[in-house]
Amino acid sequence: MNLDELKYPVGRFVKPTFITKETIDSAISDIENFPSLVKAEIQNHEEHELQLRYRPEGWTISQVVHHCADSHINSYMRFKLALTENVPTIKPYEESLWAELPDNQLSPFVSLQLLEALHARWVYLLKTLNEEDLNKEFIHPEQSEKISLKENILIYGWHCQHHLAHIRQAKELRF
């Protein structure tokens, strides 16, 4: 495997030309199932096994789980901002620096509990969105582009698959 395949085991996110109800529903399902799939992957492993990396110099399984909690909290807030403000500019965060903060020394099961509760609320919200809501947007200042909520649902459906693949890859390749 080359480095790009190790970094992107499910491929890079590609925005579809047309976003259908079926693709949105599929992404919401990915988001909904993510915490239980992560739990199934990590629940019977010793702490040292959760320090395996998905690629050389990549994050450990533990760091991936903590990152997902951080990322998904930020995404949930972006949805709420876009639903309550007129095309807000969101605040990005330095994910690599967040990964180095002391709370990442906690067990990944703490972040898994957070993901379970967060995803329950997030998915409930996502399933209530109508077409007008799905078309609401926020501005991501790093790309200086507007992102619709329906596109962001697809991005996070992909994000769940992407990091679930990292966890599985770390267990298989054992870096």
60-106 residue pLDDT tens = 999 999 999 999 999 999 999 999 999 999 999 999 999 999 999 99
Tell me the mean pLDDT in the region 33-53.
Answer: 95
Tokens of 79: 């949805």
Q: How many whole angstroms separate alpha carbon 91 and alpha carbon 175?
A: 33
pLDDT at 5 over 90: yes
Three-state DSSP at 29 gives: helix
Locus of tokens 């994910």:
95
Q: In this predicted structure, what is the pLDDT of residue 74?
A: 97
Q: How many whole angstroms separate alpha carbon 119 and alpha carbon 28?
A: 10
Residues 6+ apart with CB under 8 A from 164: 34, 37, 38, 41
Q: In this predicted structure, what is the pLDDT of residue 136?
A: 98
Tell me the mean pLDDT in the region 12-41.
Answer: 97
pLDDT at 144 over 90: no
Three-state DSSP at 53 gives: strand
What's the fold here for domain 21-173? Four Helix Bundle (Hemerythrin (Met), subunit A) (1.20.120)
Tell me the mean pLDDT in the region 149-162.
Answer: 98
Q: In this predicted structure, what is the pLDDT of residue 1?
A: 78
Q: In this predicted structure, what is the pLDDT of residue 14?
A: 96
Distance from the first to the final alpha carbon of the chain:
13
Model pTM? 0.96
Q: In this predicted structure, what is the pLDDT of residue 19?
A: 97
Give the start-to-end residue ranges of the domains of the chain.
21-173
Nearest Cα to Cα of residue 106 among 63, 168, 45: 63
